Chains A and B, each alone.
Chain A
């Protein structure tokens, strides 16, 4: 008698090598696979490789082992930049996603005049190129000639210093919210639209109020999408680069070369010629992002089980 494990041997092997129809998915994935290998995997491998060395202007290249990584651990500039992002994210992400949820619910209710206009208008900033956005906001925040400054002067109160050291994180958070609010709203709106209408009918027949429908049916069904959006936002926040990079033009004395970790890595490669160290910084940042995302998924998953 054959043991139940045995049939897995030769025959199983053959069935694991895809042939004929089974090959189709791999063929379809191949273009992505190639691009992924060339533009993501290869640069990552190369970056990791150079992060193990140290190139200097005098003396050339030496093997550095983990020295670059150890240095990141005690690099105040890196951790201060990360600290900035923590402060930024803890305020910006809940505000943005909260608003996006609210707006999606309002839109979904379908009792709004010019609904399509609202949808488009809120989504539009997402399509505005970063450079244009920086010009717009640079003007709006302008401490002397911006609209707020002009208004303050007209009513004779001190102009708000929206580009000052204290206000800068909020000013950037405002730009990021403006940019991505519509994007997340559309995602949530699409998810709400996917909720089968008979659920609403059933709920109404059971005498649920509109609020109860939102609270007990729509929000729970939206939950996976919101969790996904939070993970995306954690990723986006920790990689913040464009907005501070562009606002630096308007506030060069406030945003320094290490304002966020990505800006720091950029400065390290362009001004410092410290490619090796920049690679190490990037990998540590990647690790921080992975940890933060994992931690969040862990916490939200545990809560759900409760």
Chain B
């Protein structure tokens, strides 16, 4: 992802601002039996704003565990620091903020401790898709923290003005895109942000794309399969007609959303709060609806983003570190605060299904309970998706090649052929046996 404007990270900045004056109200907790008998010090890396709130709650509940919270960079820079620490074998945290999509990349270098013995008792509290992404049988490599199920956020006023119904299928979406741009040359149904690997990946995931299958050191790589080719042809047709733009995730795009240049955003569960922060002028005009479907008879969604807490294998205090990771992601009081203070989209079923979360209404969305839409989506995430063991490279290759195609180097379909070639070559070079 490199220097991409990582909107998940911007969102967090935004949130820090939104949280603003909100007081620090924490529940009084009765300390459960602490793990450590003597004082133990743990280092926790995370870029979540105001995380100290929950960390302090943990410390009150665990007098013998001292926790130093460090912001080692937001996303990509933190991973770079972590990689440097892994290479040097020092300077590593005990527990680290890790996005779902990079777990297998860091597991490839054996970075995480299997915390199954402490974590498995919590398995049933989490959504199936989030647990599936952190575990392998009884082995658990991270605790799910927040998630990003996909849906569509759109401008009700713009669609209504031009008499366009909310698209339920991708065919309807294409039709709506063409009609909308024909009705008003300054308006596009969407900005297709192909330069963002996570976004592109989420839409392909929904379409049934399974680019990587892993079996030990054997990798089956099918990036340019028929799913990808159909997906590419679909968007290429819209681009050729000029019905959508493909400008990337930039500040111009935020302005475009706010000013009505783009009438929808195919976004994730953390999107509603993020959008409310960047598009203030259009408050009240936005609504959320299901992600358009490829087939009318089924309902399938996918994820974009979402984080976990993982315990580093190098920790000197595995039990305490595991307690930190599991407590921060399962304690009822602490986890409830993530949804009200930091606005994380929960992975705990109880919170997802609670009235307070699902029925929360916001003026920005014309008092629609938008979380409901994303909760519905979170239950329809296709579980059968696997991340590559070198996801940073994978995303970079997608961004490079799709960007090149948008700039005139062949079609989007050609880009997938080039990504296939570059990822397969990289995997072979890295010592994997590559099957096609």
Contacts and interface: CB of A to CB of B under 8 A. Distances in A.
Question: A and B from one assembly?
Answer: yes
Interface of A: 56-59, 135, 138-139, 142-146, 164-165, 245-246, 248-254, 256-258, 266-267, 269-273, 275
17 contacts: A58-B432, A143-B247, A165-B408, A246-B3, A249-B250, A251-B250, A252-B5, A252-B195, A252-B196, A252-B403, A253-B194, A253-B248, A253-B403, A253-B406, A269-B80, A270-B80, A272-B392
A145 B392 contact: no
B403 A256 contact: yes
A13 B395 CA distance: 63
A246 B3 CA distance: 7
Contacts of B87: 275
Contact of A57 (B79, B246, B390): B390
Interface stretch (B255-263, B302-310, B355-363): B255-263
Given A250-B252, A253-B195, A271 B2 contact: yes
B399 A252 contact: yes
A57 B408 CA distance: 34
Contacts of B404: 256
Nearest to B6: A249
B389 interface: yes
A138 B400 contact: no
Main secondary structure of the interface of A (DSSP, over half): loop
B3 A56 contact: no
Given A58-B217, A257-B400, A270-B2, A252 B392 contact: no
B400 A248 contact: no
B249 interface: yes
A188 B390 CA distance: 50
Contacts of A267: 2, 396
Interface in B190-247: 194-196, 217, 246-247
B4 A248 contact: yes
Contacts, number: 104
A252 B4 contact: yes
A273 B83 contact: yes
Interface in B1-57: 1-5
B392 A253 contact: no
A269 B406 CA distance: 26
B426 A251 contact: no
B251 A57 contact: no
A265 B249 CA distance: 24
Size bracket of the B interface: 35 or more
B407 interface: yes
B393 interface: yes
B124 interface: no
Given A58-B430, A145-B255, A252 B396 contact: no
Contacts of B392: 270-273
Contacts of A250: 250-252
A271 B5 contact: no
Contacts of A256: 399-400, 403-404
Given A253-B248, A257-B399, 9 more contacts: A56-B431, A139-B251, A142-B252, A164-B407, A165-B407, A252-B250, A257-B2, A271-B395, A273-B393
For the complex of A and B, list the 9 residue pairs with the smallest distance between their C-beta atoms, beginning with the closest. Answer: A58-B431, A252-B195, A253-B403, A59-B431, A252-B248, A271-B392, A57-B430, A271-B396, A56-B431
Contacts of B108: 57
B76 interface: yes
A146 B406 CA distance: 21
A253 B393 contact: no
A246 B2 CA distance: 10
B429 interface: yes
Contact of A144 (B194, B252, B400, B407): B252
Nearest to A135: B251
Interface string B106-126: 001100000000000000000
Contacts of A143: 247, 252
A112 to B, nearest CB: 37
Contacts of A142: 251-252
Interface string B391-431: 01101100110111011100000000000000000100111
A264 to B, nearest CB: 11
A56 B429 contact: yes
Contacts of A275: 87
B219 to A, nearest CB: 10
